[in-house]
Structure 1
Amino acid sequence: MNANHAQSAVQSPAADSAERKVLLDAARTPLEQRLHQPVLLVVDQLNTSGDWAFLQAHMQGAGGKPLDYTGTEYAEAAQAGMKSHIYAALLQRSGQQWTVKAEAIGPTDVAWGNWATQYGAPAAIFDH
């Protein structure tokens, strides 16, 4: 990891910013592929530092309806009450491209607790 990126200030892209849209699109595209449906991400937290970003959001289905896990690999766990509507993603930028390095779909606990250590991301992006 580049030392300059490790020391970059943590920022939260503005709700109407192009950077925020790019980050949300980068997270949403693979998520929608995994869930086989359109997903609206209602952002709880979006922090960036250098080439790293952390997103925590609530997932909603089309039109803001509750997300339905039916027909997904998570259906059985959701029926058993072991899935939330939370989505968390760690993204890394390479050039102009943001990609998801780690994600937690519907966690019921803090699944990203070790991501800073595991991926070399700045710990500060995970703070509220």
Structure 2
Amino acid sequence: MSFRRSLVVAALASLWLASGSLAQPFREPAKGSTERAAILDAIRPAVEAEMRGPVEFVVTTMRAAPNWAFMQVEPQRPGGGSIELSQTGLRDEADMMDGLTVFALVSFQNGRWNLVDHVVGPTDVAYAGWPLRYGVPAALLGLEQ
């Protein structure tokens, strides 16, 4: 193969890789599935501690890969009751928060989903550093690379 042809092949391969053709497939675990419940249960104790009581989640976004899951959820009291920020452990941070939206990252290790990190009510993209910090694919978080 000529040098020039090698350069063309290398350039095309680079474009193909950059286009996301090899992007890892993500899925949304089905509502009511055991996997979805296990992912949500991984974040529940931390969120319940912050909310000072039981919660259920309204899922806005949930993307899962074989060993990672990322979610954006809205916590509420069981049965759909709203959570009053002033009654939570976050009440002193209310001035720096944008609601109670939770962004969370969990990993699948040792046969179960485990909380890696989460943030409640950020006013910016607080999880933007997670790919570098934890090695999670940026695309799972909905971040451009």
* Higher Cα Rg, which structure: 2
Percent identical pairs in the alignment equals: 32
Correspondence for 1:43 among 34, 45, 59:
59
Which amino acid counterpart does residue 45 of structure 2 have in structure 1? T
Give the ranges of 4+ consecutive aligned residues of structure 1 lying more than 2 Å apart after TM superposition: 69-73, 80-83
SS of match in other structure, 1:63: coil
C-alpha distance in 2, partners of 1:8/1:69?
A: 37
Q: Counterparts of 2:119 and 2:63 in 1: how far apart (Å)?
A: 16
Match of 1:105 among 111, 120, 138: 120
CA distance in 1, matches of 2:24, 2:97: 36
Once the two structures are overlaid, the 10-residue window that deviates more, 28-37 or 99-108, is 28-37
Deviations 1:27-74 (A, max 9, x none): 112211232211121101111112111011112123312212234331
Question: When the two structures are aligned, how many residues end up with a matched partner?
Answer: 122
Q: Is the 8 A contact 2:64 2:70 kept in 1?
A: yes
**In structure 2, which of residues 10, 23, 29 is the aligned counterpart of residue 13 of structure 1?**
29
Q: Highest relative contact order (Cα 8 Å, sep 6+), 1 or 2?
A: 1
Counterpart in the other structure of 2:109 = 94
How many Å separate the matches in 1 of 2:55 and 2:121? Answer: 13
Q: Provide the TM-score with structure 1 as the length reference.
A: 0.83
Amino acid at match of 1:48: A
TM-score, with normalisation over the residues of structure 2? 0.74
Unmatched tracts of structure 1, length 5 or more: 1-6
What whole-Å deviation, never above 9, does each CA across 1:94-117 have from its counterpart, x for those lacking one?
Answer: 121211111001222221111112
Q: State whether residues 49 and 122 of structure 1, in contact with CA within 8 Å, keep that contact through their aligned partners in structure 2.
A: no
> RMSD between aligned alpha carbons?
2.1
Query: CA contact under 8 A between 2:62 and 2:72: conserved in structure 1?
Result: yes
Partner of 1:65, secondary structure, is coil
Unaligned runs of 5+ in 2: 1-22
Q: Does 1:76 align with 2:92?
A: yes
User: Which structure's residues are more often strand, by fraction?
Assistant: 1
Q: Residue 61 of structure 1 contacts residue 68 of structure 1 at CA under 8 Å; is this kept in 2?
A: no
